[in-house]
Structure 1
């Protein structure tokens, strides 16, 4: 879906965004929205305004921009100048200009606020629908196209029906013995959302309270209501406990118990004895607070899907970096909602590369005048801005926190392997073998940057690394660094699995050395490189898209609408006259010691008899040329299309997951 979503709120004086000059009062949003910046940069006040704004919702700002559609309609109508045009049942000499006025009514209307734009669209489209050009149904066809586009757009996007705010002040343990008191909620109301006293005798329902401010204080009572309620309510808690187990407790069975004669939730993990939640680590308590309401609110009492907006302060509070990542995976995979976070965690930044549903906005506080008494708050979209690290106070030095590492040759290897690993889990999960299903559940719980991490060794640079356990002495250190193998891998990371391309088999001395140092933790691909392990159908579709462009390719092969939309945005297209792409098919065997670029070129080249045959998809070594671009196409195809794992892909995934399992047992 190419259309973007936007959001803003009332009472945001001195705030503006950098979307474009015409729309400074809106921000682009996605499912997970991270707001970062230095302390006192305006992040928290911003999300509180979004939460407390009584009028505006995402719908008000996210109606689609119809400029292109109405421009096409205008061009079509202008071709029929002089024809008889009816508006309703009447026609006149001015009907042509009246009809253009209706069309221009949408084209000339400002896009923001989109609630007014939508209202203007509805008014004008009705008038256009009542019009007709003699001898043609052009208006009906074009108008229906626009209506269908709008209907499909609004059907695809489910907007929030309620808003919830989770402040920093939160916890599952009561802080007062007074019944029916929630001090954290009361404090949040008093500090952030004070309500005016009612001027009528009949008290108004409070706008803010336990129904929309989530602090964990009410969790004991809510669990009690559900577990003592209808079967559907008990089943919902059971489903939630299963997800807690999967994401945060290494698949150990988890039970949450509002124990009688206590005021605190008890928990039972696996075969351990039941104990009060206060004995559980603060990070896991935070995970429960942050996931319970979101999961429970996925459906209403009738089982209908629900979408809400959650505004969360510092989700990383008391959590290990890997657990924060797992929390975000929970939100992405198990809930329907939109989330808005203030955060100082640098461990969430690279989620932008892993999901199209993540966006990062940076807040900057700027003085308006020299006296520095008044300030503006600027919001910048900055997904891959290295200044983000400075904004979060992160220095270049870093720690490797993962329990094991997988060393791969480059960035595309990491991207392909991530997709292959996801597919491998799906294959195991759909198996009839109970052992495979159990492994799938375990593998699904493994968190990047916690249970494992990828390290890219950049091809030939691997020769500079030593994988021995021995460290040079203080006296030997300087001389060691000056040697060809001057870097000790195990000084920065333990539990290494080294994945090597198949073309290393021709470098026996290097392989022998690696195997001597890392023993069974060296895995050599049975083919030239990771691209050779991809299924032929993905390579075939990627080649057509790269050669023809997405429009021509989608006319020849069936692609999902999500694939087409995503690749259209990326603008992939290529045309070459010395190659015939029709010679390519989806049954070619790419599992070979030759690179897939050479295999493809040799297949589609029109004349292979020339002395220096031209190359299109390959570089001089035979590997795929422009690896990153080709990988981008394959990633989209592997996300939205149906495909199968090859046997070499299964083998490398099995090796990786065995390594991760061993290092996390």
Structure 2
């Protein structure tokens, strides 16, 4: 089955999307689904319809079902099919289509039979070709049954949970068994209070009683709470031991952190209370796969904690999450994980009646370069305890992946250091600043006050906290810049021994990426069908044109080649290895395949996206240079945060 997942709620009027070329009432979904847009753009209403929808999720994974809906929509909307609507068979087709959708709730055989009836009507209208050339009803019916069986194991909606913005762990009434937040959500949003109630609306009001049941229950229940407390400690409390206590004769949860005295949860910050509300149910049900629909997860939370919440969801649970959000700090997660998707909602007047409105949903992380060019990322806001200055977006993305890999290695190699480092949250304990190589000269990293007429550049320490500056090795030839930075920053200046960050990538990743770019995904992975199928959902690479490959042979790229080089970028190193002769362009300049004129890789950002995708799906190791880079970064983060505690 295709690894892409699709979904759409029932009974949603005036909403369409651009997620599929031929059908505009379907969304691609992933583990974390962010719904963004202006206020009153329709996000929350869509989210609640999603939550209350009874449409089985597996039906949208059936490709032929989606194609049938597409054909039906085309018949309904396009004027060229007007003559068909006037024929009796069209109304019969719609009747069979409704019967088919109803049958999807039951068995594969009844569904397949109804599907064939729909095909027969389309055949009578001369439209079966919409499913592909030379297709026949019997073949399509059998293909449908296979797709149905493949999709039947998927069930994202066996149980759903809704978390409204009105939530809190502190009771707002002394009336026993009264849950005002849940009752308000029911009254405002959901008509069927028997199906939408305290069992599937999460507001935090029930946490005291939930904890009481578990801690006074079976050993497995007590162990579950103990494991949950350990995860809270890891993700939100800097590894300090945490205990949640439903104290006797109280109606509010108590908490004990480290060696501090136990105190009511009301004395804990609102952001940490939110973290508990948003993670408890998801973790205690972590062995199943459910769907959580969450309004504004960032409420009362520091940006770094919101990111940590998302890491918790990805790493510690199997569920699918749907969020409405106004937080720009979450958007660049699409750069860092292929389990994240962003859908933008836009409210616009209807063309046929400007007084009426429709809601369009755009997949806005499909062109990730666009998001990157907007500069919408957490490193736009310097609120962290320390900063790591890197030359550009690709450096930040590579180093972020290196740090994740470094931590995973530490988990077995040095448990104590792993526990110390794993607590560091992006945009809270540290953040990245992208300075762009040519702009570095405009910054002064000295801690001395300078007169405004003294042209030493803007003072970096006035705009960002504790700085670690990482510079590509190619600045050695640029005047006396290295000497100035050494003088200003000392050991907080890290000059790479190679030309640029790309030189620190492991050979296996670079070679695989080059084969895919050169030959296309299908040919490059012809001997690894499983990996090809996995990557095909994330990569759309057909390979270079023959004219670009002329004079180069990708098979000459050795697995023993070293990309760590002081002077040469990886593009030049690759070209030197794969050139068959000395290919020339029409103006007698050396022809380049992977290199740009500076020797670095062509289309750096696109190449970076490819490498990051491979990192998520193939086995790889840190190079020694990358490992040393991570060590210095984590030491910087650790010392900066220790200093911030005592200052």
Q: Give TM-score, length-normalised by structure 1.
A: 0.79
Rounded to whole Å, the distance in 2 between the matches of 1:612 and 1:372 is 58
Partner of 1:599 in structure 2?
573
Rounded to whole Å, the distance in 2 between the matches of 1:328 and 1:554 is 32
Aligned-residue offset at 1:282: 0.8
Kept in 1: contact 2:520–2:541 (CA 8 A): no
Q: Which has the larger radius of gyration?
A: 1
Aligned-residue offset at 1:646: 1.4
| Aligned: 1:418 with 2:408 | no
- Structure 2 residue corresponding to 1:455, chosen from 433, 437, 452: 433
Cα deviation, 1:353-380, whole Å, max 9, x if unaligned, reads 2222222223333345999764333333
Cα deviation, 1:402-459, whole Å, max 9, x if unaligned, reads 221111112221121111111111111122xxxx222223333322222222222222
Partner of 1:64 in structure 2?
63
Which aligned pairs between 1:225-264 and structure 2 lie closer than 5 A? 225-264=213-252
The 3 A distance-change label for structure 1 pair 120 and 23 is farther
Rounded to whole Å, the distance in 2 between the matches of 1:634 and 1:650 is 17
| Aligned: 1:496 with 2:496 | no
Which aligned pairs between 1:538-617 and structure 2 lie closer than 5 A? 538-555=509-526, 560-561=531-532, 564-566=535-537, 568-573=539-544, 575=546, 576-593=549-566, 594-607=568-581, 613-617=590-594
Kept in 2: contact 1:59–1:115 (CA 8 A): no
Rounded to whole Å, the distance in 1 between the matches of 2:322 and 2:144 is 32
Aligned-residue offset at 1:295: 1.0
Rounded to whole Å, the distance in 2 between the matches of 1:20 and 1:543 is 30
Which aligned pairs between 1:67-82 and structure 2 lie closer than 5 A? none
- Structure 1 residue corresponding to 2:186, chosen from 185, 189, 197: 189
Which aligned pairs between 1:152-231 and structure 2 lie closer than 5 A? 157-195=154-192, 206-231=194-219
| Aligned: 1:629 with 2:611 | no
The 3 A distance-change label for structure 1 pair 411 and 281 is same
Rounded to whole Å, the distance in 1 between the matches of 2:552 and 2:14 is 58
SS at match of 1:161: coil
Rounded to whole Å, the distance in 2 between the matches of 1:369 and 1:162 is 39
The 3 A distance-change label for structure 1 pair 366 and 429 is same
The more displaced of 345-354 and 21-30 is 21-30
Partner of 1:280 in structure 2?
268
The 3 A distance-change label for structure 1 pair 554 and 384 is closer
| Aligned: 1:323 with 2:313 | no
Kept in 2: contact 1:60–1:114 (CA 8 A): no
Which aligned pairs between 1:250-399 and structure 2 lie closer than 5 A? 250-299=238-287, 306-368=288-350, 374-383=356-365, 399=381
How many aligned residue pairs are there?
A: 585
Kept in 1: contact 2:58–2:155 (CA 8 A): no
Aligned-residue offset at 1:517: 0.6
| Aligned: 1:656 with 2:633 | yes
SS at match of 1:555: coil
| Aligned: 1:640 with 2:628 | no
Aligned-residue offset at 1:503: 2.7
The 3 A distance-change label for structure 1 pair 397 and 276 is closer
Partner of 2:123 in structure 1?
none
Rounded to whole Å, the distance in 1 between the matches of 2:527 and 2:270 is 55
Aligned-residue offset at 1:521: 0.5
Rounded to whole Å, the distance in 1 between the matches of 2:3 and 2:420 is 37
Partner of 1:71 in structure 2?
none
SS at match of 2:240: coil
The 3 A distance-change label for structure 1 pair 509 and 632 is same
Aligned-residue offset at 1:158: 4.8
Q: Give TM-score, length-normalised by structure 2.
A: 0.81
Partner of 2:36 in structure 1?
36
Aligned-residue offset at 1:267: 0.8
Kept in 2: contact 1:5–1:58 (CA 8 A): no
The 3 A distance-change label for structure 1 pair 369 and 603 is closer
Kept in 2: contact 1:536–1:588 (CA 8 A): yes
The 3 A distance-change label for structure 1 pair 438 and 395 is closer
Aligned-residue offset at 1:212: 0.7
The 3 A distance-change label for structure 1 pair 183 and 541 is same
Rounded to whole Å, the distance in 2 between the matches of 1:651 and 1:396 is 25
The 3 A distance-change label for structure 1 pair 144 and 592 is farther
Partner of 1:47 in structure 2?
47
Task: Calculate the aligned-residue CA RMSD, in Å.
Answer: 3.7
The 3 A distance-change label for structure 1 pair 487 and 44 is same
Partner of 1:464 in structure 2?
442
The 3 A distance-change label for structure 1 pair 338 and 67 is closer
The more displaced of 339-348 and 439-448 is 439-448
Which aligned pairs between 1:476-495 and structure 2 lie closer than 5 A? 476=452, 479-480=453-454, 483=455, 485-495=456-466
Kept in 2: contact 1:567–1:633 (CA 8 A): no
SS at match of 2:552: coil
Partner of 2:489 in structure 1?
518
The more displaced of 23-32 and 633-642 is 23-32
The 3 A distance-change label for structure 1 pair 625 and 48 is closer
The more displaced of 326-335 and 397-406 is 397-406
Rounded to whole Å, the distance in 1 between the matches of 2:493 and 2:57 is 50
The more displaced of 1-10 and 30-39 is 1-10
Q: Which runs of 5+ in 1 are unaligned?
A: 69-104, 128-138, 197-205, 300-305
Cα deviation, 1:177-223, whole Å, max 9, x if unaligned, reads 22222121122222222448xxxxxxxxx222211111111111111
The 3 A distance-change label for structure 1 pair 367 and 618 is closer
